[in-house]
A = this chain, B = another copy of it.
Amino acid sequence: MTDLAPVLAAADAALPQSLDRLFELLKIPSISTDPAYKADCRKAAEWLVAALHEIGFTASLRDTPGHPMVVAHHEGASADCPHALFYGHYDVQPVDPLPLWESDPFIPSIKEIAPGRKVITGRGTSDDKGQLMTFVEACRAYKAVHGTLPVRITILFEGEEESGSPSLKPFLEANREELSCDFALVCDTGMWDAKTPAIAATLRGLVGEEIIITAADRDLHSGLFGGAAANPIHVLSQILGRLHDENGRVTLPGFYDGVEETPENIKASWEKLAESADRYLKDVGLSIPAGEKGRSVLELTWARPTAEVNGIIGGYTGDGFKTVIAAQASAKVSFRLVGQQDPQAIRESFRAFVRSQIPADCSVEFKEHGASPAIQLPYDSPVLTKAKTALSDEWPNAAVVIGMGGSIPIVGDFQTMLGMDSLMTGFALVDDRIHSPNEKYDLMSFQKGIRSWVRILDALSC
């Protein structure tokens, strides 16, 4: 730990210059998906190389078959310091429909949208230029006060995140040694609310399966055959109906192998978020958490595995009625995984479960639709603990450790290709309109984001 107060003061004092630099980057229309902006993407990468070089990083632009990567290294105060990989992306989404923008998406400005609430407007302010610059500016402030950084840092800025990251895996593969660090810091997520910072520690895994049950070799008339011919919709319904017990638990043998209970202190922190979690269900017309009984909405969606039927079809489904006994019925089923659940073991258990319930007269075919394990930054990881305290010191409310529903492929890649856990935190707000017209980033997110990273870097120092 170093002397923190002067760094925070320096960051605050330099805010006008930090904003000037952010605006320079925001003015570059680095839309990765549109070939017309290829040169702009390169220009944004070059701008970042220069900015990092200016604060003592050995920074370079690395060409790929698509847009270039920016890779930078800083040795930190000592070789004994922990080594962090910071990830962000400099590319942005397209801006159409342009007429809906209240001001030019690539001429950023600061607007007061409510008394005392100022925001930075423009494409990329929140996703992800404003966010990655909180980290760069934190490093700058630290360097300005202490002459070095408290941890060793490798930076990876990608320019294809908004267009599917086609170059990312090959790049990680080719630069495995250079990019492997003790852990990763990923700044592409948001706050729980304007007062409550959040660290995303878990991403659920996914196993997708399709099952097709066949009975007779043709559709049959239910008058002539009803009662004597096997009905594959019955077989399918019965199997799917047995996937959960009366308490909402998944009944597959071994399904919960590798699932650990969430620590009490984490669950307690989620209880404080309960009201907004309830609103989450109410917003879609629901009110009662389904799934495993006795667990909150947040625990169910962040920390518990699921089996969900995503689609089902069989027989006559048009208007009116047809007294048919279908030859086939099929369903698409997905499993969300947590902890150490093994995707292949889950798939095999499901298939065995289904096969064991197929009558002798019927057959079943399975189709595989992907498999990925869960990502879990251990709740007791020192990185998590330190970052949480640092964030809690900065913001009005203590930081919460949350889970993520949507996938963040880079986190899985860091895990599987580089063996690194990722700490995901960021300062975006739910009303930032990312990917939409009038994207914004609160000035508070930017300023306190910089201060948050100063605190986290300090907390992670050796």
Contacts and interface: CB of A to CB of B under 8 A. Distances in A.
Interface string A218-242: 1011111111111101101111111
Contact of A241 (B238, B320, B370, B406): B238
Contacts of A309: 231, 233-234, 237, 314-315
Interface in A231-274: 231, 233-234, 236-244
Interface in A166-207: 204, 206
B226 A237 contact: no
A9 interface: no
A344 interface: no
A311 interface: yes
A370 B233 CA distance: 22
A6 interface: no
Contacts of A240: 233-234, 237-238, 241
Given A222-B310, A311-B315, A301 B208 contact: no
B312 A223 contact: no
A310 B325 contact: yes
B310 A329 contact: no
A336 B229 contact: no
B312 A228 contact: no
Given A237-B241, A313-B313, A288 B359 contact: yes
A405 B322 CA distance: 14
Interface in A33-68: none
A334 B317 CA distance: 13
A99 B197 CA distance: 81
B310 A324 contact: yes
A394 to B, nearest CB: 27
Given A286-B216, A290-B361, A317 B311 contact: yes
Nearest to A225: B301
A444 interface: no
Contacts of A330: 317
A69 to B, nearest CB: 28
B336 A332 contact: no
Given A229-B286, A291-B227, A407-B223, A316 B310 contact: yes
Interface string A335-353: 0100000000000000000
B311 A322 contact: yes
Nearest to A215: B286
Contact of A300 (B221, B227, B315): B227
Contact of A281 (B210, B228, B301, B360): B228
Interface string A119-157: 000000000000000000000000000000000000000
Contacts of A316: 310-311, 332
B291 A228 contact: yes
A460 B288 CA distance: 68
A224 B169 CA distance: 26
A233 B280 CA distance: 21
A404 to B, nearest CB: 8
A326 interface: yes
Contacts of A290: 227-231, 359, 361
B311 A217 contact: no
Nearest to A287: B361
Given A228-B290, A228-B301, 11 more contacts: A225-B284, A230-B286, A230-B288, A234-B240, A234-B241, A236-B237, A237-B241, A309-B315, A310-B315, A310-B322, A311-B316
Interface of A: 204, 206, 208, 210, 215-218, 220-231, 233-234, 236-244, 280-281, 284-292, 297, 300-301, 304-306, 308-317, 320-326, 329-332, 334, 336, 359-361, 369-370, 405-407
18 contacts: A221-B405, A222-B306, A223-B405, A226-B291, A226-B334, A227-B305, A228-B280, A231-B309, A233-B309, A236-B237, A237-B240, A290-B359, A309-B315, A310-B316, A310-B321, A312-B315, A312-B329, A313-B314
A-B pairs with the 4 shortest C-beta distances? A241-B241, A217-B285, A311-B315, A224-B405
